[in-house]
Structures are given as C-alpha cells and as structure tokens.
C-alpha cells in the first residue's frame, strides 16, 4: 500500500532522485530540506515513515530524530537515517537515538525501497499490502477483501482500515484517540465517539460469520482485537 513518507534531505539532486524512486514505487513523498521545515510538516500531519539525512543545515538529523523520539505523538514514528558516515560508531549512534534503520550513501534506489518496506512491515504493518490472517479471518489489503473461511464479508472503507489496524496490532488495547490517529489520521478532527459508531458497524459486519467477538471493548481504555475470550470485567 502507498505510504506517506517525509523525506528530509538538503541536497537537491539526491532529494529529487530519492523522491522520484519512491513515487515510482507507489509512495507519496513530502519533502523538507531542514529539520525546522520537517518539524512543521510533522506537526500538521504524521507521515508513515521519515527518511532523515544525518547532516542538515541548522539542527542535525540526529537532533531532529531525538526530538521525534522525545515527543509522545511521534515516539513510534519509523525513522530511517540517510548518511555518508559509514563508521561503526556513527551507525551505533544512529540506532541508539531510535532510528529503525541506517542506510549509508551511496545506496541503490532498489535497496532503499526494500529497506522502507522492511521497516514498515515491522513497525507499521497496517500500511503494507501483506495479507493478515488471525482468528479465522483473512484480510488482504491488495484486493481489499475480508474472508471468513470461504465466505466473503462486506466492509465499508473505514471499517476495513479499522479492522486492518486492529488485526496487525492484536491483543493490544488502543484508545479512541489512538485509533483516530492511526485510522483516520491525526490531522482529521472528528469526535472520539465516531470510533464507537464504526466499531459497531464493524462488529455488525463480522456478526454473520460469528467473528464479532474478536473486537473487544476494554472498559475505560478502548478496544482491541483478541482471539482470547474476553474477561467478564471487560465485556465485548
């Protein structure tokens, strides 16, 4: 699936080359030439991944990465560092500040695209095209189909995205605010109770196949996808 990627690179030729190859791979690219511009972009809307050059004018890429990791809103944002610094200690520094991967210049565009795919699969599986099977359900983002055994289930686009996110993060409790950020986008301002409406619609769509109980309510906390029987204190 196309990912929204923030590319922070101050060399125009390299920025253009990377952006062109990412667009060719189907991703949407937003560009910044310095950390301050990147910070404004992130403040407006969270990307799915940040490609971050180490050496930038003003604040360095390392400093910007530290800012992202220090902020609760961006703490889990996948980061890949781009740098000409290939020494082992530099790589260690990049990983210690919280980067998910470290790519040394020069690199092949194919390698970079593959690294991005690997990081997204690990950190943000809901933005990949990998099919996911759990609890008797199979969701395929590439074909936009959900099946229970041989039976196809009909879901609206929002319910599909909601189920995809929950299935790729099973057993974890997500608050309404977290679901709004991850499924609707953190720049979309809607009431938190909107989540409840779509949870009800999702359960209704799963009810025919007997899978509605997989979407559980955790009282006072939010919702989770679980193949375990809900605790009576936290009814589904």
Q: How many CB atoms lie within 10 A of CB 22?
A: 22
The per-residue pLDDT for range 117-139, each reduced to its tens digit, is: 999 888 888 788 889 999 999 99
The per-residue pLDDT for range 192-213, each reduced to its tens digit, is: 889 999 999 999 999 999 999 9
The beta strand positions in the chain, using DSSP E, are: 4-8, 28-32, 49-53, 79-83, 101-104, 132-134, 137-140, 145-148, 151-153, 215-218, 222-225
Q: What tokens were used for 20?
A: 């062109």
Reported as a pLDDT band with limits 50, 70 and 90, residue 233 is very low
151 or 1: which leads in pLDDT: 151
The per-residue pLDDT for range 164-202, each reduced to its tens digit, is: 999 999 999 999 988 988 888 766 677 888 999 999 999
What is the sign of the dihedral through the CA atoms of 68, 70, 74 and 80?
positive
The per-residue pLDDT for range 65-121, each reduced to its tens digit, is: 999 999 988 988 999 999 887 666 777 777 788 889 988 888 898 999 999 999 988
Whether the model clears a pTM of 0.95, i.e. scores above it, the answer is no
Closest C-alpha among 85, 152, 112, 148 to residue 24: 112
Helices 193-207 & 157-168, crossing angle to 10 degrees? 90
Largest interatomic CA distance in the chain:
59
User: What span, in angstroms and rounded, lies between the C-alpha atoms of 209 and 202?
Assistant: 12
Q: Using omega within 30 degrees of 0 as the cis cutoff, is the peptide bond preceding 106 cis?
A: yes
User: What span, in angstroms and rounded, lies between the C-alpha atoms of 183 and 172?
Assistant: 15
Rounded to 5°, the CA angle 73-78-84 comes to 125
Burial 129-161 (b: 16+ CB within 10 A, else e): eeebebbebbbebeeeebbbeeeebebeebbbb
Burial (CB < 10 A; 0-12, 13-18, 19+), residue 170, is middle
Arithmetic mean of pLDDT over the chain: 89
What is the sign of the dihedral through the CA atoms of 116, 122, 124 and 129?
positive
């Amino acid at each position: 699936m196309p990912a929204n990627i923030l590319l922070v690179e101050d060399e125009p030729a390299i920025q253009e080359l990377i952006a062109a190859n990412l667009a060719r791979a189907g991703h949407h690219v937003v560009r910044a030439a310095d950390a301050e511009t990147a910070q404004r972009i992130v403040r407006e809307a969270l990307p799915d991944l940040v490609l971050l050059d180490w050496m930038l004018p003003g604040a360095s890429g390392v400093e910007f990465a530290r800012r992202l990791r220090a902020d609760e809103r961006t703490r889990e944002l996948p980061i890949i560092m781009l740098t000409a610094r290939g020494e082992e200690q530099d790589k260690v520094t990049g990983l210690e500040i919280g980067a998910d991967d470290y790519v040394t210049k020069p690199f092949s565009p194919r390698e970079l695209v593959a690294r991005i795919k690997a990081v997204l699969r690990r950190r943000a599986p809901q933005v990949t095209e990998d099919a996911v099977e759990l609890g008797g359900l199979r969701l395929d983002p590439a074909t936009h189909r959900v099946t229970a055994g041989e039976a196809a289930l009909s879901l609206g686009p929002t319910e599909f995205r909601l189920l995809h996110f929950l299935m790729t993060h099973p057993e974890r409790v997500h608050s309404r605010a977290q679901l709004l950020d991850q499924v609707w986008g953190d720049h979309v301002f809607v009431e938190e109770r909107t989540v409840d409406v779509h949870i009800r619609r999702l359960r209704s769509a799963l009810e025919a196949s007997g899978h509605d109980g997989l979407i559980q309510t955790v009282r006072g906390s939010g919702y989770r996808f679980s193949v375990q029987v809900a605790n009576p204190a936290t009814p589904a």
